[in-house]
Amino acid sequence: MSSHSQFHEISSHYLTCHAVMETYSMGLMRNIPNAHPVYKLLRPHVRYTMAINRKARESLINATGILARTFSVGADGELEVFKRCGTAYSVHWSNIKHNTEERGVDDASKLPHYYYRDDGYRVWDAIESYVTEIIDMFYVNDASVSEDEELQSFANDVHFNGFPAYGGSLGHEFPSSIATKAELVQICTLVMFTGSAQHAAVNFGQYTYYSFVPNAPFVLHKPPPTRKGKLKFKDLMDSLPDKEETLATNVLVSLLSGYSPDEIYLGAYPPEQFVEERAKQAVKELDVKLKQIYEMIKKRNEGLDVPYIYMSPKNIPNSITI
């Protein structure tokens, strides 16, 4: 479980949520003007992301940062995990349907009670139908997408500069141009889902999961045993994090699992986001769907010993702020 904690924090959390959303944020801000419908659609989902990432780079994930000092992999290992996971990353891995299919865990009849998938699919569908409505409103046909120079510039920038293919990259699969409305809907849904629900799923359970350090310690001081029955209690204690490391872990995961006091939750947008009546109606419909999902999850969780709360819409911020 210690190796799992390294992979989770470096890859699943920082790399494929924080860093990926910064890429979209940069692409959006330097290619698409703020009156553009795609800018208006996506801007709330990159709020504060660059700022929190800068703070993370200053204190958490650099050669002398907290991760380098408190994780088993150390500074060099941290960099190596970033390199390997970055090279292997495809944006489709952030699509929960694609991801669960690839991992063979998409079938609820074969794997019931997998609430990350069940709740995540519902949230994905709600976001997708909202995005479809907005894109339908502003783009009359596929040509209006392919001829949108600002949009194409965004795709090109993210493709070549945001996810540069270096060191044997397997292909991040973000397109260099967007040809159809359907493709645009998928990209916008992916960006919104990654910055909201996917990040919430990997972020807000950190205290629950890591604060009891033997559950998944960030550091182990001895290699795992190779033979059964030989380990003494002292060996276990010598391997687990010491008091100082335990304190550092708890402070870190407590901080990272908290919501910002001015958090804006999924589907809440400023009134000026869209002025068009049809778009306002689409926002209302999204709100209704998210409330239905919230009620369904709340009811389901009442019957569970361990409720799954991380994909409940009221626990999903619009963007990565922590």
Contacts to Fe ion by CB under 5 A: 203
DSSP symbol at 92: G
Structure tokens that stand for 174 in this block = 């973000």
Q: How far is the CB of 8 from Fe ion (least distance, A)?
A: 11
Q: How far is the CB of 60 from Fe ion (least distance, A)?
A: 10
Q: Residue with CB nearest Fe ion?
A: 203
Cβ proximity to Fe ion: between 94 and 203 the closer is 203
Cβ proximity to Fe ion: between 206 and 246 the closer is 206
3-state secondary structure of 35: coil
- Rounded Cα distance between 254 and 310, Å, is 16
Q: How far is the CB of 14 from Fe ion (least distance, A)?
A: 7
- Rounded Cα distance between 318 and 217, Å, is 30
Cβ proximity to Fe ion: between 93 and 154 the closer is 93
Q: How far is the CB of 61 from Fe ion (least distance, A)?
A: 11
Cα 43 off chain centre by: 16
- Rounded Cα distance between 261 and 297, Å, is 24
Burial (CB < 10 A; 0-12, 13-18, 19+), residue 5, is buried
Q: How far is the CB of 4 from Fe ion (least distance, A)?
A: 17
Which of 125, 156, 172, 182 is CA-nearest to residue 20? 172
Cβ proximity to Fe ion: between 22 and 148 the closer is 22
Cβ proximity to Fe ion: between 267 and 317 the closer is 317
Which of 217, 275, 271, 204 is CA-nearest to residue 248? 217
